[in-house]
Structure 1
């Protein structure tokens, strides 16, 4: 007798109990805490028999399972009120296949599918509320992201073109998908929490969607005498803190192997900004702010514009490096960071990954772009906002700029420096 056989049966029983517990809690009439473990064990034993007698055993067992589900529904229909929902029926058939896959496939995959099934069943009310809050504009955002990520991306050629042989349509659009995905995540978080999102959450969501757009929105609102300049300044600053987190995420995704060298100085800037944000939150006083209405970040036009900006930044980076060396990259970083720090972050990360830019130069280029973007947002607040909010934002941004410059000049070039300290 193989010990792993009992392990498979135990996992099958456990997954069935997990889903059955949830169905029993929801008072399902078709299957509950006892039936679902029997279903998964039935699938597991059918797969074990199939190893001996052939795949027809699983096919016959699945047909039998489907027949039992149909019979159960026929019996339910004779006892009004009858609910024609198919959730439990679908879960029963799925858990049968999960039980079979425990034998025929990867245990980890089967466990993940079984656990996910239980979670999906448990989140019924939450998912229904989320769908109820989705309007036509939100559904359009989802469909546009599907077009961007699953329709356009697969058909783009994965070859390089143009000057310096650096323009790869597939890679460029992959970066578009990454940025739009991050922004869309923040957008739907906003849809869940709505305009009731507090000051801190408003800044976090604003930074995920667009820190520049958040800066413009809140700066304009301070022209209204009823709007709190302290709260607006805090939201603007928190959005900028989150934009640094976005940079770290982008580097980690695009150039994972560079993280030990590139992320620490960026994390140091983030910690400085986090401390400032914490201090400002402590002294902001009472009151809450509402988030302004957020636009759809998955518009095809927006994606095309970012893709174009990213392609231009890639070309400019290659040109600057060829003609001016590493110093030319900083010029591109300053100019690109004024409008879109994501593009220069992604392009520099790519160059570091393929070895065209040294890591010590790469993180400095990204940091320069982040500081340039911070300076640009400060100018926006000065032009669009109240004097009081500008003074508060300028003070915070000034400290961050000074800290960023100190990191640029004083950060050790030896990546082993910190490991040697401990």
Structure 2
């Protein structure tokens, strides 16, 4: 906490200025809000932030009292707003109290100032995205909402009660870690799902491939193949979306590696980055040569990843892959890990990526073996996409997808072996 006596005068001034900027930023956003402009705006919010900053710097013990005292006139003003405008929204009232707290954080400590800036940016983005957020909520039906609520409740209830240690009865698995990986992968998919819902069904084919790849590249490939069968003249465009969905899998794997084992990231980034860059260039060429140059309604309905049964299935797959990979490395060495990675990658890349990242972090496998295994799993899953294109799509789509993804796989192998 800043000591106004011991600390330099300039430091206090800078922190107070930061608080003023935070209040002005949120206040400008609220000023432009149709429902909030008459309640509090570009002048009131900076004052709230300054109040919090000064109280936090010189009278920190009084902050709860100040918040309680400020809540009284804010409540009166809110009641008047409801009476005059028939607007029951609590967003601006909540934002006003939050700004006071953010102002106090700026003068609390250096870490507090950084957190206040980050939170202020997030709050401003959240407030300004009102239309997008409401649009997303309107596009989610009741069944999906219930599924999401059930999943979140299960996560909140199950995660804290799971033991955070390796259990002999589970062959040395850590239950909490396994479930945490389920939550992490599902949450990553849900971010892309939410974005796809916010953008809407009428979106460009490139965005379809990117978002579909983050949620489920396999599901996107199946959908594109089926759509190409219905409209063979658009095979190039659907092949483009399939390729994009497949190569997005590589950056997704990099995100997972970065979260689980940052030390492994440089070893994986080169081959997966090369596969991503090469695939993106070839995909751009495919798009340029496509007969249809405008956006196409993909017809892809991405399912909500916040569903309990698929999450439990992934958890089981991840646990099995973790055990098998460790056993294969002990009994067969690197060749056993690569074989496991290939077989696992045929079904799911996330499981083998998280598994090898964890094993490398524990020292059970070397970073080189882990990196190569992740690339092998990614290549195996990429080849599955080509197989699905042949099985479900027209010949033109299958040839194009196989040629591109085959070349991408060769690039991955070369970089994994020789770089």
Shorter-chain TM-score above 0.5: yes
Match of 1:87 in 2: 91
- Asked which structure has the greater CA Rg, the reply is 1
Q: Report the Cα distance in structure 2 between the residues aligned to 1:181 and 1:348, rounded to whole angstroms.
A: 20
After superposition, where does 1:262-301 map in structure 2 within 5 Å? 262-286=268-292, 287-291=294-298, 292-301=300-309
Cα distance in 1 between the residues matched to 2:45 and 2:170: 60
Q: Could you tell me how far apart the structure 1 residues matched to 2:120 and 2:231 are?
A: 55
Of the structure 1 ranges 251-260 and 136-145, higher mean CA displacement relative to structure 2 is found in: 136-145
**Counterparts in 2 of 1:227 and 1:210: CA distance versus 1, 3 Å:** farther
Aligned to 1:62: 67
User: What is the 5 A alignment of 1:381-420?
Assistant: 381-411=389-419
CA contact (8 A) 1:141 1:297 kept: no
Q: Deviations over 1:355-411 (max 9, x none)?
A: 111122221111111221122222222122111211111222222233333334423
CA contact (8 A) 1:262 1:359 kept: no
Between the aligned partners of 1:375 and 1:312, the Cα distance in structure 2 is 22
Q: Which residue of 1 aligns with 2:24?
A: 17
CA distance in 1, matches of 2:54, 2:100: 10
CA RMSD of aligned residues (A): 2.4
Equivalent residue, structure 1, for 2:245: 239
Q: After the TM superposition, which parts of structure 1 deviate over 6 Å for at least 4 consecutive aligned residues?
A: none
The verdict on how the C-alpha distance between 1:389 and 1:30 changes in structure 2, with shifts beyond 3 A counting, is: closer
The 5 Å alignment of 1:41-80 reads 41-50=50-59, 55=61, 57-73=62-78, 76=81, 80=84
Equivalent position of 1:171 in the other structure: 177
Deviations 1:136-156 (A, max 9, x none): 133235324423543322221
Quote the offset at 1:194 in angstroms: 2.3
Mapped pair 1:38 → 2:47? yes
CA distance in 2, matches of 1:123, 1:13: 23
In structure 1, list runs of 5 or more residues that go unmatched: 412-422
- 1:309 equivalent in structure 2: 317
CA distance in 1, matches of 2:172, 2:205: 42
- Partners of 1:223 and 1:394 lie apart in 2 by 16
- Cα distance in 2 between the residues matched to 1:375 and 1:367: 12
Equivalent residue number for residue 219 of structure 2: 213
Distance (whole Å) between structure 2 residues aligned to residue 132 and residue 323 of structure 1: 53
Change (3 A) 1:169 1:92: same
Distance 1:28 1:47 in 2: 27
Q: TM-score, normalised by structure 2?
A: 0.89
Q: Is the 8 A contact 2:52 2:101 kept in 1?
A: yes
Deviations 1:33-75 (A, max 9, x none): 2222222222333334425xxx3x4344333312222343455
In 2, are the aligned partners of 1:180 and 1:298 still within 8 Å (CA)? yes
The structure 2 residue matched to 1:29, chosen from 35, 38, 41, is 38
Determine whether 1:361 maps to 2:361. no
Q: Is the 8 A contact 2:345 2:377 kept in 1?
A: yes
Question: CA 1:4–1:352 in 2, change beyond 3 Å: closer, same or farther?
Answer: same
